[in-house]
Amino acid sequence: MELQTTIYIIVGLTFALYIGIAIWARAGSTSEFYVAGSGVNPVVNGMATAADWMSAASFISMAGLIAYMGYGGSLFLMGWTGGYVLLALLLAPYLRKFGKFTVPQFIGDRYYSKGASTIAVICLLVASITYIIGQMTGVGVAFSRFLGVSNDTGIYIGMAIVFSYAVFGGMKGITYTQVAQYLVLITAYIIPAIFISLALTGNPLPQLGLGADNVTSQKSLLVTLNEVIQDLGFNEYTTQLPGSKLNMFVYTLSLMIGTAGLPHVIIRFFTVKSVADARSSAGWALVFIALLYTTAPAVAAMARLNLHTTMNPTIIENPEGIFKPDGAILHAERPDWMKRWEVTGLLKWQDKNGDGRIQYYNDKSSNQEFMKKAEEAGWKGNELTVNRDIIVMANPEIAMLPNWVIALVAAGGLAAALSTAAGLLMAISSAVSHDLVKNVFKPDISEKGELMVGKVAMALSIVLAGYLGLNPPGFAAGTVALAFGIAASTLFPAIMMGIFSKKMNKSGAMAGMVVGLVVTLFYVFAHKGIFFIKGTEYLGLIGGANSFFGITPEAFGAIGAGINFIVAFAVDKVTKEPPAHIQEMVESVRIPRGSSAVTGDHYH
């Protein structure tokens, strides 16, 4: 069976499964719509949480980032997984014991202020909408390559699929759909990794294959990779760092606390029966997440090696006798997988010197001897541009794996993007209907009316997400980092102080969130120049890549969080402390006694 037909069948079957589950698990009450009736099994919730948390960034982008960043890419592994541990240990159980539907509701009640709740909603909406742009864009990319449609059409299809199971099923439908999506995405990630690990190292476990010998060179896989890419002018894979050590530390910290503050992940812990179940589901989620995250470094290294050896078949020998700087002359006929990806625009070849061959090398290398040889050979610069996001998706094609494996990866990438998009839309919907309409504008709204508002809000959010995916703003390439930065600098400090500081008052929390949001947005926007005057991009107020002690905009969320904490405690010191009943409530939430029986219902 040809590749395209196989893709249609496998992707179509997974979509039918998602829609079928949504029909079976459709929500009939606000409790089922927002938190799946708070009756989800911990193992099931752990699997759904893993799918919700592992977005297109984890499935599609992370290994690609590591493949090109090398050792420095480990900051994503440490930041995202460390953030989840932080969330599981410090936030999730206490939030579940509090017993509210959403993060803004917790902040509003804890800080005894509708104003605090409204600010939290604004922060949540900015972070979630920013994050969802990347998910919808990823959906468009995957569809355009694997279904042979335009990027715009791919986004429209993705919108329709999410609408069908998110709006009608609510959190209940999303939960069980995400279980199916987790099974699809993890299978799609691990099976190709096993195939490729066997081919390159003879070891079926990618985690072990990463440290094993390459079957061709009889040297360690990482040593072989280092030699191959250094022969092409690239930096050594195992020692690269993204900027300074300070930036790497702050970047990792920003990802950690940003992860812990993401509302669409936190809301998942409100779907179980008790605090004990919240802890249990957090542990299960970590196990399910680890399956992908321990495999990602191997996928990254093996994909990078496959890419270069596929593009560079004459690295070992040069039968034509043509001079090549360290074995980098390439054959003229492009592989079929490359031709297929060129259609998407994510992979481009430009024959700069007209020799009919592909020169794929680092034309900005600091190795002067290498650059001199390249110039003497008649090379006019690197001719191949590879978008990092295609590394995982194209990996099975590069390795010439069976068609069903390639189709499975397509289904997995779409599952990762759609599952997170649904979780984000649920967080947006609940924030608008429950935290704004019910808690602020119309407290006497009926349950049926609130449910309808929630569905309308979600439908409108899907339209907005689709529009932003079709017309991404100037900062689209950095949206995920910006989303984590906003969550880190606004919601995370407010939640932490709300749980662990009974003396923190509403004035301090509100001031901290506002300042954290403003400072972070200013730094990112000013640095990246996200201002447009009559369609012309203005390069902002802060110039250079290392403006503030070498800290990049993607890493600034941790600084914003620090400023949030400082402002909050400073304002708290000069304003009235919280009422006695609020301080007692905070104490009771932190007490672990009888956690297995605590449901949090007494706080509704």
**Residue 402 pLDDT greater than 80, yes or no:** yes
Q: What is the pLDDT of residue 488?
A: 92
**Residue 235 pLDDT greater than 80, yes or no:** yes
Please state, in angstroms and rounded to a whole number, the distance separating the CA atoms of residues 373 and 381. Answer: 12
| Pick from 66, 56, 193, 204: nearest CA to 132 | 56
What 3-state class would DSSP assign to 17? helix
Could you tell me what percent of the chain has a pLDDT over 70?
A: 82
Mean pLDDT, rounded, for 444-454: 80
Q: What is the pLDDT of residue 62?
A: 82
**Residue 478 pLDDT greater than 60, yes or no:** no
Kindly write down the DSSP assignment for every residue of 427-449, as one continuous string: HHHHIIIIIIIIIII-TT--HHH
Q: What is the pLDDT of residue 78?
A: 86
Q: What is the pLDDT of residue 5?
A: 86
Name the percent of the chain in helix, strand, coil, to the closest 5.
70, 5, 30
Q: Pick the most confident of 87-91, 251-255, 574-578, 584-588.
A: 574-578
Question: Which neighbouring-strand residues pair with 220?
Answer: 213
What 3-state class would DSSP assign to 502? coil
Assigned token pair, 488:
């880190």
**Residue 538 pLDDT greater than 50, yes or no:** no
More confident residue, 506 or 482: 506
Q: What is the mean pLDDT of the chain?
A: 78
More confident residue, 169 or 355: 355
More confident residue, 373 or 580: 580
Helix ranges, 318-402 (H): 336-342, 368-376, 390-398
Rounded to the nearest 5°, which phi and psi values hold at 101? -75, -40
Q: Of the ranges 130-134, 162-166, 188-192, 439-443, which one carries the lowest mean pLDDT score?
A: 162-166
Sort strands 384-386 and 347-349 into parallel, antiparallel or unpaired. Answer: antiparallel
Task: Write out pLDDT tens, residues 78-108.
Answer: 888 888 888 877 887 788 777 766 788 889 8
What 3-state class would DSSP assign to 154? helix
pLDDT confidence bin for 34, thresholds 50/70/90: low
Task: Write out pLDDT tens, residues 357-366.
Answer: 778 888 888 8
Q: Which helix (H) or strand (E) holds 29?
A: none
pLDDT confidence bin for 323, thresholds 50/70/90: very low
**Residue 209 pLDDT greater than 50, yes or no:** yes
Domains of the chain listed by start with CATH number: 33-303+398-596 (1.20.1730.10), 313-397 (no CATH)
Q: What is the pLDDT of residue 101?
A: 65
Rounded to the nearest 5°, which phi and psi values hold at 178? -65, -30
Residues 6+ apart with CB under 8 A from 475: 482, 524, 525, 528, 530
Mean pLDDT, rounded, for 319-333: 45
Report field, pTM of the whole predicted structure over 0.85: no
Mean pLDDT, rounded, for 56-73: 80
Q: Report how far Cα 324 is from the mean position of its chain's Cα atoms.
A: 40
Please state, in angstroms and rounded to a whole number, the distance separating the CA atoms of residues 311 and 308. Answer: 5
Mean pLDDT, rounded, for 147-156: 75
More confident residue, 76 or 507: 507
Q: What is the pLDDT of residue 59?
A: 80
**Residue 316 pLDDT greater than 80, yes or no:** no
Q: Which amino acid would we find at residue 583?
A: Q
**Residue 603 pLDDT greater than 50, yes or no:** no
- Angle (CA) 60 65 70, round 5°: 140
Q: What is the pLDDT of residue 242?
A: 62
Angle between the N-to-C axes of helices 114-146 and 151-166, in degrees from 0 to 180, rounded to the nearest 10 = 130
